[in-house]
A and B are shown apart, each in its own frame.
Chain A
Amino acid sequence: MAATLQLNPRVLATVEDLSLVAQTIVEGFLDGLHRSPFLGYSTEFSTYRPYTQGDNPRHIDWKVWGRSDKLYVKQFEEYTNLRGEIFLDTSASMDFGTGEANKFDYGRVLAAALAYLMVRQNDAAGLVLFNEKSVRAVPARAHRHNADDIFQALSKATAGGATAIDSSLLGQVQELDRRGLAIVISDFFAPEETAFDLLRALQIQRQETVAFQILAPEEIELGYAGEVLFEDAESGLQLPVMAEAARTDYRDRLESFCGRLRQECVRLEVDYQRLRTDQPLDYALVSYLEHRAALAA
């Protein structure tokens, strides 16, 4: 995998125009996927590209070969009915992380990039924002301007409130009556592990699901010193903690939780990706493309 994201999402997150951010990330990402077979084929001619081993010989433009003695294959804009639904966690726990790319900003950029990628491939992209209540911010439509709606919705979204995987959100899931792709972007810090219910519901609805767990480096490493008074972002509860003394137990518990989440994902055949906010978005985009390819097949 030679793909690398050239632009840092932290920097991009400072750009207010999410469409520009998403476009920059995706185009840069696709440039990195040089001659990759991930791009689909459709009936509408799009452009030429040099032939590579593995390309279907049916797509070779023999006229060009006749003129230039070089092999080019035609690329076509793909027509698809694939539906991709992005579930973005907007609870207060996502509004964490120092620096310019906290978890929520990172999630928004990821959602925007995925939405752009979907629309670019003529998939029907939709957006559901959930915290204490869930909102279908943008219904999934296979329209080339749908990405703009998603960008606007993401731009207006703010983080706050508690995470609630309840009937409101599950109702949104039940509306997914077709097989499609579901992308959940969250830290999954829902009470009593109800976040698993969301994954189960998606699996029941026959959705090819990708779970992106967004974590900030500070909450993974707990790199504080001395006595720290932690305040729960969602409940407001305060807890004085000796950081050095609590670090080991904290990490164990966090990893244990992530482990259970991973196991549940394996059991539900959900692709689980843990993302740090200081990492590039490559893994997330590649994971999306792999699942999209699987669905297309």
Chain B
Amino acid sequence: MGPFSFTNPAFLGGLAALSVPILIHLLLKRRRLKVRFSTLRFFEAADQRARQRRRLRQWLLLALRLLAVALLVVAFARPFRSDSAPGGPARRERRVALILDRSASLNARDSGGPRFERALAEARGRLGKLEVNDRAALIEAGSPARVLAPLSPPAAILQRLVKLEPGFGAADLGDALRQADGLLAGATRDETNEVWLVSDLQRNSCVSVPVQSLRRDAGLRIYAVGDAAAPNVAVTELHCGTGLGAVSRVTLTSFAEALIAGRLRVRLDGQVILDQPVSLGPGSVTNLPLSLTNVAPGWHGAEARLEAEDSLVLDNTRYAAFYATAPKRVLVLEPRKNVRPFQEETLFLAKALNPAGTGEGVANAAFVVDKCGPEDLASRLRAAGGRLSVVMLPGLRQLPPGSSLLLGEFVRHGGGLLLFVGEGLSALEYDRELADLLPARLGAVDRETRPGWRLQEFDPGSPIFAAFQTPEGGNLALPEFTRRFLLVEEPGSAVLARFTDAVPAVLARQVGHGKVLLVNTSADTTWSDWPKHRSFVPWMHGLTDFLSSGTGAEAKGNLAQAGVDAGEETELEGFAPGRALKLRDGTAEVPARADAAGQCLLPATLRPGLWSVVDEGGRELRRLAVNPPVVESDLAAMSAQEFEESVRRREAEAEAGGLVSRPGGGRKDYSGLLLASLLGLLVAELALANRTLS
């Protein structure tokens, strides 16, 4: 038989609980009532004996309780003895799963030097003490964890460590434990299982640890690297908004417990747009607005770099890639001549799309609005040459001659046509001239004295109502309508909104590559008060985007902000199926390929920076910002003890050749015997404690 060993030696720390019975003993000893009594003459002889017996009983009880606690603790530690005969091979081969944390936080520099170098030195030192017959596996604690090397001779693992560098992503230590647990299955009776964890035990990496469980027969050794207090500041957000009203900002967060001063520089396409000193208080979050003006359509890259003395330099730089769309050109037909601007019928349409004015030269505008009279419509349509996205017509008393053909051609080639109705509009003329475009045939004018009709239902899936999905989007039930046309829907048209009495209010029709939208009210405030409500502007933006989506003009709204966390495999969409691609960041080039669904899988090894996705011809298809995960910036760490306590243990499953299932094999477990002894002790304690001394 070999010497005694323990399956869970950490439980022996519970022997500290021996102090509890001693404390109880001392506390009870002091608690006695003091009474001034008439005479003690009737006590002495009798009580002297009782006191002696009681003192003896108390010491016996204390000894029993101490023994009980000690037995319980030792039983939990699972003592066992190997079946090996004395003089035989006492040592069992070790199977070690080495978990190495390579997350972005390992790039930190502590008082003892670079954190990852310390981690590597720790791992090498431990592996160097293994025997030749021992086996070790290497697991990288990424998100998710990866097995870098299966169970192999220690020398092979040491070799594998040579070229390792810290990564840029997050770590999931819980997943790493799960991988280690799987690797250690199937140990024989001559082998012991161990899990070595070399990590900075960053709290954000330990979130999933309590969810996983580790086999009970695997010893867990934790080698924590990194300082307990590592001051750090980081650029945690860089947002570049495009379009009118969009907000751009950079967010600085301090994870330090002291004030840290530094300097922030933000560059857009290499040009400095912000350069200022910053002072970050403990735990503070600082938002600094950015001013992006005259951003040309196309892809852009921004970089915010914070120069400060902190532990982790990696997260002091953050990148952002975004696509600035070209403004959409909208032609608005104004029928009223020689009137002041506020008397124009299309005043609200133009102001809703671009309140800064009409024509070119409006910075960051989403729409460029042009106006013309009915007589100029034909010439404008001819001259547009595909640059025009949407044409908007208020209710016209008379359609310009020849305009119906030009409008039909414009729409069929992908243009968008917005039609309002209004006072004096000839339903017969509209139905005749625009028969191929109108979503519905116009009937008689329908009038309602106040209170008028309201919008009751609208298609929530339609992009023109997308702005109203949020509570702040406005209330479409507020506008009131007093006049309208009775409509007969054309086949193939879709009613996007109806009045309270179910008469269509907004209808759409696909014509060729373009769309026609009919709004059953006037463009001004004569038939409704909708233009005066806050819901009008977002609705106008939504429907203009909707109408212009078929023009082939810039349609990359979903790509406007393009950023991913480093260390994670990410899929990009929207490429031609099977297309060969490349990822470039100026110094490196990584080959990639779009799959059959047009998705391109980005590798987890991309380092932080601005990357371009280019085709074989070198044309930039899109740009991408890769940043370290924000969670890696908070360097707050667990203690080794805290981590160990959070790991759930489970009995190893019955497995062929395993330790537990082998009948009578391997070792003799004494925990059962100890627990039985404990039960006997408790019975004795119970009897002694409840015995009344005479």
Contacts and interface: CB of A to CB of B under 8 A. Distances in A.
Do A and B associate with each other?
yes
B31 to A, nearest CB: 8
B40 A239 contact: yes
Contacts of A250: 42-43, 46
B342 interface: no
A244 B53 CA distance: 13
A231 interface: yes
A254 B41 CA distance: 9
Interface in A76-98: 93-94, 96
Nearest to A237: B40
Given A242-B51, A249-B46, A250-B46, A230 B692 contact: no
Given A241-B43, A244-B692, A232 B50 contact: no
B39 A233 contact: yes
Nearest to A216: B38
Contacts of B37: 96, 219, 230-233
B39 A93 contact: yes
A233 B39 CA distance: 6
Contacts of A103: 38
Contact of B35 (A187, A189, A224, A245): A224
Given A242-B50, A249-B47, A229 B694 contact: no
Contacts of A263: none
Contact of A232 (B39, B47, B53): B39
Contacts of A224: 33, 35
B47 A245 contact: yes
A234 B42 contact: no
A96 B36 contact: yes
A253 interface: yes
B34, B39, B51 interface centre (most CB from chain A within 10 Å): B39
Contacts of B44: 239
A227 B33 CA distance: 7
A246 B43 contact: yes
Contacts of B41: 189, 253, 257
Contacts, number: 96
Nearest to B39: A189
B160 interface: no
Given A244-B692, A245-B54, A248-B694, A228 B38 contact: no
A240 interface: yes
A245 to B, nearest CB: 4
Interface string B683-694: 000000000111
B33 A229 contact: yes
Nearest to B32: A227
Contact of A245 (B33, B45, B693): B693
B61 to A, nearest CB: 14
Given A226-B32, A229-B32, A239-B47, A245 B38 contact: no
A187 B43 contact: no
Contacts of B33: 224, 226-229
Contacts of A241: 43, 47, 50-51
Contacts of B39: 93, 187, 189, 232-234
Interface in A182-233: 187, 189, 216, 219, 224, 226-233
Interface in B34-77: 34-47, 50-51, 53-54
Contacts of B694: 245, 248
B50 A246 contact: yes
A229 B40 contact: no
A242 B47 CA distance: 7
B38 A96 contact: yes
Nearest to A244: B692
A245 B43 contact: no
Contacts of B35: 224, 228-231
Interface residues of B, number: 24
A187 B41 CA distance: 13
B40 A230 contact: yes
A174 to B, nearest CB: 28
The residue in B31, B40, B693 that gathers the most chain A C-beta atoms within 10 A of its C-beta is B40
A241 B693 CA distance: 12
Nearest to B44: A239
Interface string B11-46: 000000000000000000001111111111111111
A230 B42 contact: no
A196 to B, nearest CB: 15
Nearest to A215: B38
B32, B37, B51, B693: residue with the most chain A Cβ atoms closer than 10 Å = B37
Contacts of A248: 46, 694
A266 B47 CA distance: 32
B563 to A, nearest CB: 73
A229 B51 CA distance: 12
Contacts of A240: 32, 47, 51
A125 B54 CA distance: 53
B32 A233 contact: no
Contacts of A233: 36-39
B41 to A, nearest CB: 7
Contacts of A94: 38
- Centre residue among B31, B45, B51 by max chain A CB count within 10 A: B51
B633 to A, nearest CB: 60
A233 B40 CA distance: 9
A189 B38 contact: yes
A231 B411 CA distance: 112
A231 B43 contact: no
B267 to A, nearest CB: 81
B43 A239 contact: yes
A69 B43 CA distance: 68
Nearest to B29: A227
Looking at B38, B692, B694, the one whose CB has the most chain A CB atoms below 10 A away is B38
A204 to B, nearest CB: 27
A227 B35 CA distance: 11
A237 B46 CA distance: 17
Interface in A13-28: none
Nearest to A235: B40
A231 B50 contact: no
A254 B37 CA distance: 14
Interface string A247-270: 011100110010000000000000
Nearest to A225: B33
A232 B43 CA distance: 11
Contacts of A235: 40
A187 B37 CA distance: 13
Nearest to A251: B42
Contacts of B692: 244-245
A99 to B, nearest CB: 14
A244 B35 CA distance: 15
Given A227-B33, A242-B693, A248-B694, A219 B38 contact: yes
Given A239-B40, A244-B692, A231 B34 contact: yes
Contacts of A232: 37, 39-40
A232 B694 CA distance: 23
Interface string A107-123: 00000000000000000
Nearest to A239: B40
B342 to A, nearest CB: 97
Nearest to A257: B42
A226 to B, nearest CB: 7
Contacts of A254: 42
Contacts of B693: 242, 244-245
Nearest to A256: B42
Contacts of B53: 245
The winner among B31, B45, B46, B54 for most chain A CB atoms within 10 A is: B46
19 contacts: A93-B38, A187-B39, A224-B33, A226-B31, A227-B32, A229-B33, A229-B35, A231-B36, A232-B39, A232-B40, A233-B36, A239-B43, A241-B47, A244-B693, A245-B47, A245-B53, A245-B692, A249-B45, A250-B42
Top-5 shortest CB links A-B: A249-B46, A245-B50, A253-B42, A227-B32, A96-B38
Given A228-B35, A239-B44, A257-B42, 9 more contacts: A96-B38, A187-B38, A227-B31, A227-B54, A230-B36, A240-B32, A242-B50, A245-B54, A257-B41
